[in-house]
Amino acid sequence: MKSIPKGTIFGHPSGLFTLFFAEMWERFSYYGMRSLLVFYMIKGFLGYNDSKAYAIYGAYTALVYATPFIGGMLADRLLGARKSVVIGGILMSMGHLLMTVEMEWVFMAGLAFLIAGNGFFKPNISTIVGQLYEEMPKRRDSGFTLFYMGINLGAAMSPLICGYVGEMFGWHYGFGLATAGMMLGLAVFTLPRRVAQFLILIFAFATAGLMISLQSNTFQLVVNSFVSLGLLVAGGVAFAALGRGGLPKGAGEARSPEAAKRKVLGVVRADWAVYIGIGLAIPILMLLVARNTVTGWILAAFGLAAFVWLIVKAARSALVERHRLFVILILMFFSMLFWSFFEQAGSSITNFTDRNVDRVFEETTVTEDMVGKTAPIELNQEQLGYFQDDTVITLTYLEAEREKAKLRQVDKPIEEWRIQEGHVGMGIGGSEVPASLFQAANPIFILIFGLVFTALWTWLGRRALEPSTPAKFALGLLQLGLGFAALWYGTTMADSRGMVAIHWLLVGYLLHTTGELCLSPVGLSMVTKLAPSTIVASVMGAWFLATAFSNYLAGMIAQLTGVSHGEGESMLIPPPSETVHVYGDTFGTIAATAVVCSLLCFALVPVLKKWMHPEVE
C-alpha cells in the first residue's frame, strides 16, 4: 500500500477527526433508531409482546454485526475501505428513511437496509483509522479511544434528541432525525474538506442548541448541556484538524483498483456484481429478521466458516502470525460473552427502566390530610402500582390514557382521584424523564472517563505498568459483572410498588462503561495491530461476526425477562411489583457468570501476553 501522508494535531493524525465526525453522525443515526426500536415495536402500531420484540431486536442486531465480515472481505479484495464506507452510508440512510413509514413490511425492509449498510460501513471506517497509525503504532490505542469517544458522542446525543422527540412527539419524527444524522455523516466523509469544515461547525452549533431546548427539568438540562458542550469542543477540534489536511487521499484506497473492473463469469463487472448482490440480499435479510429463528442457524454456519478460515490462515502462517491469530480467536470468545451481556442495554434494561425504575421528579406527595378527598391528578409513572378503586394502574393503562390525551389534544392525562389511605406518599405531578434517554448514560460516562482512561494507559505505559490487552479484557468482564450486581441489588431494595431508585440504574451503567473502556477500544486496536496486513479488514469483519453471535444470544437472554402478555390492543404489562424480581433474577445470574468468566480470562493472561509477541514490531 502507498504511504499515507498526514499532518498531526495533538499528536494524532488530522484525518482521525474527519473519521471521528463521520462516525459520530453515523452512530447518532444508529443509536437514535436503537433508542426507540424496542419501544416502537411494543408501543407503536406493531404492538408486539416482549418476547417477539426481543427476538426481532436480537436478530436485527446480530445481523448488523454479521454483515461486516462480508463487507470487510469485499473491501479487501475489490472495493477498498473508502468506497465501502460510502456504499454503507447510502444504504443506511435509505434504511432510516423507510423506518418512518407505518407498514410492517416496510419496517422490515428498513431494518434490512440498515443491516446491509452497516456491513459496508462499520469494519471499513475502523480499518481506515488503523491505517492512519502505521507510522505511529504506539499511539494506536489512544487514537482508537479518541475515535471511540466520537462513536459515543453520537450515541449520547441520539437518545437526548431522537429518543426524546420519538417518545414525546411521535416515533416517526425520531426516525426522521436519525435519517438526517446518517446523511450528515456521509456528507462529512465525502464532500470537499472546506465544505466538510463548514458542515461540522454549523451542525455542531445547531445540534447543541436543539439539545438545550429539548428538556423539561433540571436533570435533563444538566445532562443535555454537558453533551452540548462536548459536541461544541469536538466540532472546534475537528474544524481545526481539517484545516491541517483532514483525511489523506490514500487512506482506504483499493489495493488493486483493476480488480473491481474485472468481469465475473465474463458477464458483469465485479463492482456491479456487488451492487446486484446487495439488491438480492435485501429481501433475504427481511426474511431473516421476520423469521428470526432461522437467523441462529445462519449465524452458526457463517461463524463456523469464519472460524475455520482463521484457523487455516493461522496454520499457514509463520509462528508469530499464528500465535497472534490464536490470541485474536481467544479474546474474540471473551468479547462475545461481554457483548451478549452488555447488549441488554437496548432490550431488557430498556424495558426495566421503563417499567421498574422511578424516573419522576415529583412536585409533591399525597399527605394524610388529603385522604377522603377528590383531586385532579396528572397521571405519570408515579401512579404505577397504585389502585384507583379496584383498578391497579399498570403501564398498559397509563399508555392508553396518554393516547387518549393526545386525541383530545391535551399534553398529559389528568384524572379525578379519590384519595385513599394507600395513596399516602404517592408522588403527584412533576416531570417524568423518558426511559429512552437513559440509553445516553453509557456514552455520556464514556465521554467523561474516555480521556481519563487514555491518560491512565499512557501514564502506566511510560512506567511499564500498563495492563496487557488480555488483562484489560478480564478487567472489563469483572466490571460488567459488578454492574449487573448493582442492578440486581437495586431490585432487592425496591419499594412496595416494585419501583427501583434511579441511582442503582446509573451505578450499573457506570460500571458497564468502565468495563467497556477496558475492553472495546483496545479490542479494535488489537485486531488492526495483530492481524496480518493483507487480511486485516477480513479479520475485523470476523471480530464483528463474533459480536453478532453475542447480540443474537443477548436477544435470547432478554426473552428470560419477557413479562408482557398478548399482542396489539390485547397486550398487558403487569404492575411493577410482579416484574421487578423477573428482571432482578436475570441480572443476578448475568452478574455471577460475568465474574466467573473474568477470573478465567485473568488465568489465561500470561499465555496470551506471550503469544502476542510484543518484542516483534
Q: What is the pLDDT of residues 360-417, one digit of tens each?
A: 988 888 888 888 888 888 888 888 888 887 788 888 888 888 888 877 877 788 888 8
Q: Are 36 and 166 in contact (CB under 8 A)?
A: yes
The values of phi and psi at residue 269, to 5°, are: -60, 150
CB contact at 8 A, 468 and 202:
no
Give the per-residue pLDDT at 549. 82
Higher-confidence position of 194 and 568 = 194
Tell me the pLDDT tens digit for each residue of 65-84: 888 878 888 887 788 888 88
| Least-confidence region, from 43-57, 81-95, 398-412, 481-495 | 398-412
Mean pLDDT for 184-195 is 86
| Whole-angstrom distance, CA of residue 442 vs CA of residue 520 | 13
Instruction: Give SS3 for 387.
Output: strand
Residue found by looking up cell 465544505 in the block: 195
CATH number of 13-190+257-356+437-611: 3.60.15.10, 1.20.1250.20, 3.10.20.30, 3.10.20.90? 1.20.1250.20
Decide: pTM greater than 0.95: no
Cell 391528578 appears where? 377
Total length of the chain: 617
Burial of 392 (0-12, 13-18, 19+ CB in 10 A): middle
Which residues make Cβ contacts (< 8 Å) with residue 600, sequence separation at least 6? none
Give 431's strand partners. Answer: 361
| Residue ranges of domains in the chain | 13-190+257-356+437-611, 193-246, 362-428
Q: Distance (Å, rounded) from C-alpha 50 to C-alpha 395?
A: 13
Task: For residue 392, give the C-alpha cell.
Answer: 391497579
pLDDT for residue 265 is more than 70: no
**Digit-coded pLDDT (tens) for 506-515:** 999 999 999 9
Minimum mean pLDDT range among 13-22, 121-130, 247-256: 247-256
SS3 for 418-452, per residue? ECCHHHCCCEECCEECCHHHHHHHHHHHHHHHHHH
Give the pLDDT confidence of 420-459 residue by residue, as tens digits. 888 888 888 888 899 999 999 999 998 888 878 878 888 8
- Band (pLDDT 50/70/90 cuts) for residue 579 is very high
Task: Answer whether 18's CB lies under 8 Å from 246's CB.
Answer: yes
Vertex 376, ends 373 and 380: CA angle to 5°? 120
Instruction: Return d(Cα 327, Cα 321) in angstroms, integer.
Output: 10
**Which residue type sits at 95?**
G
CA distance 155 to 137: 27
- The per-residue pLDDT for range 107-128, each reduced to its tens digit, is 999 999 999 999 898 878 888 8
